[in-house]
Amino acid sequence: MSWTIESEGNDIEGGCVTVKIGLPSLSSLSELDLFVQTEAGSITSHLQLEFDPCVGVETINIDLGCVVNGDNDIVKAKWSKKRKELTVKLACIGEGGLGGDVADQSEITSEQLKSSITPPLPPPQPTLPSSITKSSKTFFPTCSLLFGSTRYFEDLIESTQDYRQQSTDSNLIKIGGLIYKGCEGVERLDKVKELSDSFAQTLPLSSRSVLEEYINSEIGHLVHLVQKKVEKEVNPSIVDDAAQRILEYVCSTGKMPHEGLEVERELYTLKRDYLDSTVFSTLQNDVLKHPGILDSSSASLGVGFDTTKGFIFRFNNSGIPKFKEHEWGTSLIPFFEEAREKDVDAYVLNVLYCPEGGGGGYSVNFHKDATLALRQGAMVSGVKQRLAWSVSVLYLNVPQGMEGGELVLRDVSRSSLKGEERYMEGVEVDAVVEPEENLGVVFRGDAEHAVKGWKGGEGGRVSLVLEQYKVPVGDRGWLLEFELVEPGKYKKERYED
């Protein structure tokens, strides 16, 4: 990541500052917020960028070297997907802008304006080991594209630096492990062999064999796991055919089936009169009077949920008592107990309020739920974020005369939508669910879904949502026991093909 600052215009009244920032991990402007900050009496402004955590950077502060107008209609931002470059143009103001005598500033020329700006030093860049620089045209660009929105690429850079300092087999195996876990984390197991072969070309022959043996053992272990699942769940007479079917599925999609051979689950199911009418009425009354719903200043539920509000609990099985004892959780117990499935390890329960409208035709853009709560350090240790096993929805309030507001689902066989596709109208869908009060919906956690915008009627479209997660035994120790999440910090993460 680096940036440059340029200026143009003949005087301070007409001058402007253009900041160009290289951001290889960014895919669209929707992943960041831009702010201009100028403290009282200051002779310089700061451009602040706040990122979705998926990008890998939380904030950037850039000293502009002059005072600029921070009004929304003055700040212009443009993202070049081809150059991976963000361009921000800001207009300078004529008072207190560049320091010195304010009376003299009307005579400042373009060259003076330009010379008054001191571009900051770009943030430090990771230094690639000299022993592997010849792979920079293949291995690292491929990894950047594949792992760009995760921690895996940064971890690979750090591991290669470690290998440069100590060229041991254990450090090399660590790199192989990150290649495998990275591909598994972004559901592209089909890329493991390609990436490991690419990196192996940078190594001496003796070291290549160490890496190749490790990768081959991991692939062999994957095949063994698939076969064991098949043997447990399928009649021995069809084990070979079933194993072949799963292996073909893994090779073609880069994904593992979620549960043995159970890859043909229904996309969704419906249940009317989900709760007893008296229980439902009490639940409805409690939630609609909740301050998180009534307060117009409540924060949205994150990226893709910009017009919504509500509150969120995240917990594992040992945290269920804390959820039930919390003053905000007590009224939600009937829904939780009705929706809860067997053999589930963690939960995300949120109250979702969608007001009338919805930018781009949607109140909630297309996404897949992957908001499992993990303790700090889990991702660095190789624990991957997971898609929900299932998602249950109960409609609490549906305004009379409402037009729109449907839940729309895409079949899991479809490729995930990317970038602007996630909020474009006219996307092909495979199921449409019209909300009605006390209607329950359960759909697959790996199904991409969205909520359409709506109009007409009074009040908001209010629903309860329970995401349920199945977690491998080895990863359960990293699960967060219980938390009530601050809505503004809650982000919906996505898995993309």
Residues 6+ apart with CB under 8 A from 195: 139, 142, 143, 146, 179, 183
Residues 6+ apart with CB under 8 A from 276: none
237-251, 287-301, 472-486: range with highest mean pLDDT: 472-486
Q: What is the pLDDT of residues 188-222, one digit of tens each?
A: 777 888 888 888 877 877 788 888 887 777 666 65
What's the CA dihedral at 318, 322, 324, 328 to 10 degrees?
-140
Quote the percentage of the chain above a pLDDT of 90: 26
Residues 335 and 275 sit within 8 Å (Cβ to Cβ): yes
In 3D space, the residue among 424, 282, 302, 280 whose CA is nearest the CA of residue 352 turns out to be 302
Q: What is the CA radius of gyration of the chain?
A: 26
Q: What is the pLDDT of residues 42-61, one digit of tens each?
A: 666 777 776 544 444 456 66
Q: What is the pLDDT of residues 93-144, one digit of tens each?
A: 644 333 333 333 333 344 443 444 344 444 444 444 444 444 445 677 778 7
Domains in the chain and their CATH numbers? 2-116 (2.60.40), 130-253 (no CATH), 268-489 (2.60.120.620)
What gap in Å lies between CA 428 and CA 411, rounded to an integer? 10
What's the CA dihedral at 182, 183, 187, 193 to 10 degrees?
-170
Q: What is the DSSP letter of 286?
A: H
What gap in Å lies between CA 107 and CA 358, rounded to an integer? 48
What gap in Å lies between CA 184 and CA 215, rounded to an integer? 13
Check residue 132 and give its pLDDT.
42
Take residue 23 and report the two structure tokens written for it: 């951001």
**pLDDT of 70 higher than 60:** no
Q: How many residues does the chain have?
A: 497
